[in-house]
């Protein structure tokens, strides 16, 4: 993207390149012309319609460097002693090369395909023919051969063609050939004499034979009159050029996805990774997530060329178990990518332990190791932030000109973090009459408290922990479990036990539980970030010594 200052507007002769194997046209052009009315000449100062051509220069798109010697194409045979100014392009003159005249030795080529009319004495040339000619594959192949460049390299998007109309005319009895820019520079040297005698050609029809519609190569568009003679400054800065731009084959955007398992009725984050090409404010990427009939759009997903960016959406899962398919559509410059994410929604509030009874037995019990459930306490991610690096360049001379911001997009990476902080507490139930500190007899209940919170540098991109599930040694940390209830922000406790006389938030240990450490395993989960779920695999213990039967006794009979 370029930014411009000044009163002169913009125009471009733009080619959008199609597949180079397609015959005939390689793109479509956008060119305009003006002029009209040649006026009357003299025996010493005149121009004959048809005495014209074009100067073609290959320019590197990235830095506007001229990479080939300009090529003059014309259908006529110019005089052998014609005056000319060498093979210098408009870009080179604007970059400081001085005008220098030569007689004889003028180099030109007659193209295989005749040129369309470029300079019109009636006011307008056949624009469609001009576009068709300069977008024709065979013409471009011929140009590539004449300038010594591989055709596929020429059209790969790294280069542009600068096209300048040429006029072959007689001035003060001498044959001369000039581009519009050379005519304006020469007129400055001869103090306006050229304009005095050849105004209709050199300051109207020649410069208006081609001009830009939108900016390119640092040149602005032309929005002024196209029927009146113009100034040298306007010609030098803005007129007498067309640009063939080959659209670089856009690297398609791509999306990388993973499948997810979520819990019911939970706020979650679904993320994808987007890459391919470069995404900036001029050519942004957007991502659409189609989730359960709702479309979530993430706009302005930016990243530099060769890198990638996470894009995510926060949403709440349904309250019933089900399988879902999320459709992801990534829309980028010139391409669209589609993908799907498979999601499984599960309900963990099932498989609650059965009611323990006094005569339960498990003579073959042995302890199982505490499982290594996913334990992810931190996450890191980032967001690319583009910013414009200005590079203002002056185009013009003392008579006038304009500033062009030939800058580019730079990117900074803003890093973010999240950390899950968690704690578990296991204590004897408050209704346990014989508990002592963290020691109790089997058959009594325990209470549990789990706390969890997330500290982060981007709060909008995370969720708090929302689920805690406890597993017990008597079930081998499997088969049965208890889903804890969130009793306050960040605090989880057992749900009220329907088998508790007092409806306490308790879990009853089996009466047959052997003496020793009784360890509860709790999985704290559903703290979501763009890079996945934070979780904690927690354990809390107390000691079993004796059983509830030890507290029973037989009272003596009354004497």
Instruction: With cut-offs at 50, 70 and 90, classify the pLDDT of residue 33.
Output: very low
Q: Are residues 207 and 125 part of one domain? A: yes
CB-neighbour burial class of residue 191 (10 A; exposed 0-12, middle 13-18, buried 19+): exposed
Would you say residue 433 lies in a domain?
yes
The secondary structure element, H or E, covering residue 93 is helix 90-94
Q: Are residues 234 and 269 part of one domain? A: no
Q: Are residues 297 and 277 part of one domain? A: yes
For range 488-505, the mean pLDDT: 93
Q: Are residues 103 and 63 part of one domain? A: yes
Q: Are residues 282 and 226 part of one domain? A: no
Say what percent of the chain tops pLDDT 70. Answer: 87
CA separation for the pair 237, 220 (Å, rounded): 8
For 538, the 3-state DSSP assignment is strand
Q: Are residues 456 and 333 part of one domain? A: no
Would you say residue 368 lies in a domain?
no
Q: Are residues 544 and 404 part of one domain? A: yes
Q: Are residues 261 and 241 part of one domain? A: no
What tens digit of pLDDT does each residue of 341-398 get?
A: 999 999 999 999 998 888 889 989 999 999 999 999 999 999 999 999 988 877 666 6
Given 196, 211, 245, which residue is the final one in a domain? 245
CA separation for the pair 87, 57 (Å, rounded): 9
Closest CA to 162 of 224, 212, 99, 206: 212
DSSP annotation of 80 reads: T
Q: Are residues 158 and 108 part of one domain? A: yes
Would you say residue 17 lies in a domain?
yes
Residue 340 half-sphere exposure toward CB, CA atoms < 13 A: 6
Q: Are residues 234 and 163 part of one domain? A: yes
Would you say residue 80 lies in a domain?
yes
What tens digit of pLDDT does each residue of 136-160 get?
A: 888 999 999 999 888 888 888 888 9
Whether the model pTM is above 0.85: no
Instruction: With cut-offs at 50, 70 and 90, classify the pLDDT of residue 251.
Output: confident
Q: Are residues 279 and 145 part of one domain? A: no
Q: Are residues 231 and 126 part of one domain? A: yes
Full domain range(s) for residue 124: 3-245
Would you say residue 279 lies in a domain?
yes
CA 413 vs CA 390, 460, 528: distances in Å: 19, 18, 21
Would you say residue 477 lies in a domain?
yes
Would you say residue 322 lies in a domain?
yes
As for how many domains the chain has, the answer is: 3
Would you say residue 49 lies in a domain?
yes
Closest CA to 265 of 481, 419, 485: 485
Given 346, 367, 402, which residue is the final one in a domain? 346
């Amino acid at each position: 993207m370029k930014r411009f200052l000044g009163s002169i507007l913009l125009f471009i002769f733009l080619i959008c390149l199609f597949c180079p194997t397609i015959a005939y046209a390689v793109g479509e052009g956008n060119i305009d012309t003006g002029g009209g009315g040649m006026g009357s000449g003299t025996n010493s100062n005149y121009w004959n319609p048809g005495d014209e051509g074009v100067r073609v220069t290959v320019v590197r798109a990235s830095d506007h460097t001229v990479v080939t010697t300009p090529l003059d194409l014309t259908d006529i045979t110019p005089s052998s002693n014609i005056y000319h100014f060498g093979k210098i392009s408009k870009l080179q003159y604007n970059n400081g090369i001085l005008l220098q005249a030569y007689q004889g030795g003028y180099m030109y080529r007659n193209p295989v395909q005749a040129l369309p009319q470029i300079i019109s004495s009636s006011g307008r040339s056949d624009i469609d023919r001009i576009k068709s000619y300069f977008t024709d594959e065979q013409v471009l192949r011929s140009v590539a051969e004449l300038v010594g460049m591989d055709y596929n390299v020429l059209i790969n998007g790294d280069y542009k063609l600068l096209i300048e109309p040429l006029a072959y005319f007689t001035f003060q009895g001498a044959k001369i050939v000039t581009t519009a820019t050379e005519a304006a520079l020469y007129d400055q040297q001869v103090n306006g004499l050229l304009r005095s005698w050849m105004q209709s050609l050199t300051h109207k029809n020649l410069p208006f034979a081609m001009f830009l519609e939108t900016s390119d190569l640092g040149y602005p568009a032309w929005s002024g009159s196209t029927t009146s003679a113009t100034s040298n400054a306007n010609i030098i800065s803005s007129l007498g050029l067309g640009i063939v731009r080959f659209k670089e084959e856009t690297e398609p955007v791509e999306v990388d996805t993973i499948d997810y398992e979520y819990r019911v009725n939970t706020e979650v984050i679904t993320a994808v990774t987007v890459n391919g090409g470069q995404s900036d404010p001029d050519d942004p990427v957007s991502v659409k997530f189609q989730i359960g009939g709702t479309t979530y759009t993430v706009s302005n997903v930016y990243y530099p060329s060769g890198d990638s960016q996470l894009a995510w959406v926060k949403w709440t899962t349904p309250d019933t178990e089900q399988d879902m398919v999320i459709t992801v559509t990534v829309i980028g410059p010139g391409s669209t990518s589609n993908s799907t994410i498979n999601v499984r929604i599960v309900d963990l509030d099932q498989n609650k332990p059965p009611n323990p009874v006094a005569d339960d037995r498990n003579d073959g019990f042995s302890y199982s190791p505490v499982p290594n459930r996913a334990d992810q306490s931190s996450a890191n991610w980032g967001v690319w932030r583009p910013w414009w690096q200005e590079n203002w360049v002056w185009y013009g001379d003392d008579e006038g000109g304009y500033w062009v911001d030939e800058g580019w997009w730079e990117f900074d990476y803003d890093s973010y973090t999240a950390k899950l902080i968690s704690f578990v507490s296991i204590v004897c139930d408050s209704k346990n009459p014989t508990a002592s500190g963290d020691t109790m007899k089997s058959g009594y209940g325990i209470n549990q408290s789990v706390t969890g919170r997330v500290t982060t540098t981007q709060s909008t991109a995370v969720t708090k922990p929302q689920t805690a599930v406890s597993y017990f040694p008597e079930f081998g940390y499997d088969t049965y479990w208890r889903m804890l209830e969130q009793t306050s922000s960040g605090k989880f406790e057992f749900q009220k036990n329907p088998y508790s006389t007092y409806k306490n938030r308790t879990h009853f240990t089996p009466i047959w539980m052997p003496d020793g450490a009784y360890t509860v395993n709790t999985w704290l989960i559903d703290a979501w970030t763009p890079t996945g779920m934070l979780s904690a695999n927690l354990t809390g213990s107390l000691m079993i010594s004796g059983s509830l039967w030890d507290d029973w006794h037989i009272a003596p009979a009354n004497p």
